[in-house]
Amino acid sequence: MSQFTFKTADAPEPDIAEIGRKLFAGQTEFLKGVVAMDGMPPADRLEVCFAGRSNVGKSSLINAITGRKALARTSNTPGRTQEINFFTLAESHYLVDLPGYGFAEAPLPIVEKWQRLLKAYLSGRQTLRRAFVLIDARHGIKKVDQDILTLLDKSAVIFQVVLTKIDKIKSKDQNAVIAQVSQVLSSHPAAYPEIVLTSSEKGDGIATLRSIIATLE
């Protein structure tokens, strides 16, 4: 728990953690990659999406929460993934991996196409319950992240910040990054008031994130 407006999420109670464990113990499979709205799967189940700038550790986090080492592809090449990737979780959820943003080397037409698709997706999926915006704990929220936060506000999609790579900073530095993130989020009406601290390598926050997803309605 922190003293900031946007507190850090507590570890789930055992019964809630078990709900999350059971959901993610179910089968998770890659369904399809989508490059246009007409390719979207039916909106017939609850879904959550993951957004983050390139190399923030998004694929690693998805692999960690699903317990699958290679479910989401990881890449050191910014902007490599240009599709919205859908994964089925049990028979009740979609996990949606959005393309990494902030890739300076991508051609402008590709960036513009991605932005149009992202806007259409966020405003057009009635079953989307939460967007998880991944922020590297070593850097906090950067200017490149602000566009996605503003877009989520405009789309009226509740979003929750997930700090990744929390194991890469010292404990005494955590309060500083939480303070910075909290200050930025205070101006975003769609921001959920809890920040999840995670480490894909160490397993920190994985049970918390699973439980959050499993208890969304």
Write down the pLDDT at residue 105.
62
Average pLDDT for 133-142: 96
Identify whether 127 is part of a domain: yes
Question: How far apart (Å, rounded) are the C-alpha atoms in residues 152 and 2?
Answer: 25
Identify whether 2 is part of a domain: no
Write down the pLDDT at residue 81.
57
Identify whether 188 is part of a domain: yes
Write down the pLDDT at residue 73.
66
Identify whether 1 is part of a domain: no
CA distances from 24 to 42, 131, 132, 181 (A): 21, 18, 17, 28
> Total domain count for the chain?
1
- Asked if residue 11 has pLDDT above 80, the reply is yes
CATH classification of the domain holding 45: 3.40.50.300
Identify whether 202 is part of a domain: yes
- Asked if residue 9 has pLDDT above 90, the reply is yes
For residue 143, give its domain range.
7-214
Identify whether 51 is part of a domain: yes
Write down the pLDDT at residue 69.
80
Distant-in-sequence, close-in-space partners of 54: CB < 8 Å, separation ≥ 6: 78, 79, 100, 101, 102, 103
Q: Can you say whether the dihedral through the CA atoms of 49, 54, 56, 193 is positive or negative?
A: negative
Residue the block writes with tokens 């317990």: 67
Identify whether 56 is part of a domain: yes
Q: How confident is the model at residue 76 (pLDDT cuts 50, 70, 90)?
A: very low
**Structure tokens, 6:** 């946007």
Round to the nearest angstrom and report the end-to-end CA distance of the chain.
Answer: 24
Q: Which residues pair with 128 in a beta bridge?
A: 47
In terms of Cβ atoms closer than 10 Å to its own Cβ (0-12, 13-18, 19+), residue 203 is exposed
Write down the pLDDT at residue 112.
81
Identify whether 150 is part of a domain: yes
SS3 category, 93: strand
- Asked if residue 107 has pLDDT above 80, the reply is no
